[in-house]
Amino acid sequence: MKTDLANREKDPGGLRRSLDSRQIQMLAVGGVIGVGLFYGASLSVQMAGPAVLVGFVLCGLIAAVVMRALGEMTVERPVSGSFRDYAESHLGRGVGFITGWMWWFFWTATVMSELAAIGKLLQYWFPHFPAWIPGLAALVLFTGSNLLAVRVFGELEYWFAILKVLAVALFMAFGLLMMFTGAFNGGTPVGVANLWSHGGFLPNGWVGVFASLSLVVQAYSGIETLAVEAGETKNPVRNMRRAFRAVTWRILVLYIGSVLVMLCAFPWNDLIHHTGSPYVLLFAKAGIPLAATVVNLLIILSGLSSCNTGLYGGSRMLYSMAEASVRDGRFSRLNRNRVPHGAVWLTAAMISIGTLLTYLAPNSVYVWITSASAFASLWTWGVILVTELVFRRRWERTMGVRPRMAMPLWPWLPGLGLLLLVVAFIAILTSPDTRISVWSGLIWLGMLAAYYAVRGRHTYHRKAAEPPNDATS
């Protein structure tokens, strides 16, 4: 078993294990903190008012349960296919095939929305600058960076993530000063009264909370990319265990904490006619225009970082899918940097559609595409939880011991996660503003199922499952 573990630490499928513990922990944090939080929070607050905090807590709980389930499986089998590979092994080839393509669709749609938002954020300085041009330039830049060695990607994303965390920490520090000392607010502490002083905590009712859930889900979506990085991580068993334990709590504190500060620092209805980021608005209201400019720049860099991570995650999932294809290995071929260049090019080509949509409808494209990606995210999280339930039962029956990173309160906690996912799905389905995410997702799901039934089942196979690591190693 020790030999199996040593072999597993090497380069599976030809990918180079170059990411270290420092990089993967910050990559996981940075990959999630993006425009979905910095820019999308403004749109979700407009829909739900202060009660959007309920949505962030609900979706944060779902994300925490999903990450614990995924960590349990990843520590035992750290491969680039991650949850797609696990779904194939425990739920069948068809589920694995559909999940891989659904997640690829999620990242392409997410990056489209991030690129669209970057253009809108640049209009803070240049109101009449076309929103589609910055997105196109960023896509070209990051397609090039993703074709380089993975260690270049890892180092670039590490520093991007540092800037993201700095932006959130700076925002929270200024907001807390305004809340409890009155600094930057004429000496009058604002406290927490803004949570209910402007139309109540639920100004738009629970309908508003439901309408905002697709945007809130998208804000947390992508956290599972941490598991995909296992295929290119040094000492994956040790480093992935550390990363999963640390990352979830960091993200929950940064997300829920910053949204709470935002809702308390200034009235939520100040965002109704604000098209930029609430993070920038706070500094502008505090009379610190230079700080607002700096934070807007940091938010744009955060969006660029998420685009880079999304292109990486989507291409690696496509690579994993190609590895499992009997007849078509075009997207599993590696360049001299041992990067799946065909997968990178195809993912970038699909993302470029978002540039066209931004050109045609710059004011609506963010909500459209963000909502469309929500269904794919819910599908992926649901498959992860169901897979963990089957994996855990089989593992304990075969190995006679619990996994090294065992899910606590099993099976009740993953069951709770699935129940909350159903609530989120119903909320998105019943909202007229976001039900496009369900229909677009169902159409894509139907297309994948039809393709697999006609052709995919003959060209796609699951490799023989590797023996599990020694649970005591």
Q: What CATH number does the domain containing 303 carry? A: 1.20.1740.10
Main-chain dihedrals φ then ψ at residue 443, nearest 5 degrees: -60, -45
Residue 74 domain boundaries:
2-459
Domain membership of residue 285 (yes or no) is: yes
CB-neighbour burial class of residue 412 (10 A; exposed 0-12, middle 13-18, buried 19+): exposed
For 117, half-sphere exposure in the C-beta direction (CA atoms, 13 angstrom radius) is 34
Note the pLDDT of residue 468: 41
The answer to whether residue 75 sits within a structural domain is yes
Query: Is residue 472 in a domain?
Result: no
Please indicate, yes or no, if residue 363 is contained in any of the structural domains.
Answer: yes
In a domain, 465, yes or no: no
In a domain, 96, yes or no: yes
Residue 464 lies in a domain: no
DSSP annotation string for 57-71: HHHHHHHHHHHHHHH
Query: How many domains is the chain built from?
Result: 1
Secondary structure letter of residue 19 according to DSSP: B
Report the C-alpha gap between 221 and 380 in whole angstroms: 10
Q: What is the 3-state secondary structure (H, E, C) of 301-363?
A: HHHHHHHHHHHHHHHHHHHHHHHCECCCCHHHCCCCCCCCHHHHHHHHHHHHHHHHHHHHCCC
Q: What angle do CA 375, 390, 396 make, to 5 degrees?
A: 145
SS3 content of the chain, % helix, strand, coil (to 5): 75, 0, 25
**Does 439 fall in a domain?**
yes
Per-residue pLDDT of the chain (473 residues), as tens digits, is 333 333 334 444 455 555 666 666 666 666 667 666 666 677 788 888 899 999 889 888 898 899 889 889 988 887 767 788 899 889 988 898 899 888 888 888 878 877 877 887 788 788 888 877 888 888 888 888 778 766 677 777 778 778 878 878 888 888 888 888 877 777 778 888 888 988 889 998 888 888 888 778 877 877 787 777 666 666 767 777 777 777 777 777 888 888 898 888 888 888 777 666 677 777 777 777 677 777 778 778 777 777 877 888 888 888 877 776 645 567 667 777 777 888 888 888 888 887 777 667 666 666 666 666 778 888 999 999 999 999 999 999 998 889 988 888 899 999 999 998 998 888 878 777 667 767 878 888 898 889 888 876 666 654 434 434 433 33
Distance CA 208, CA 185 (A): 29
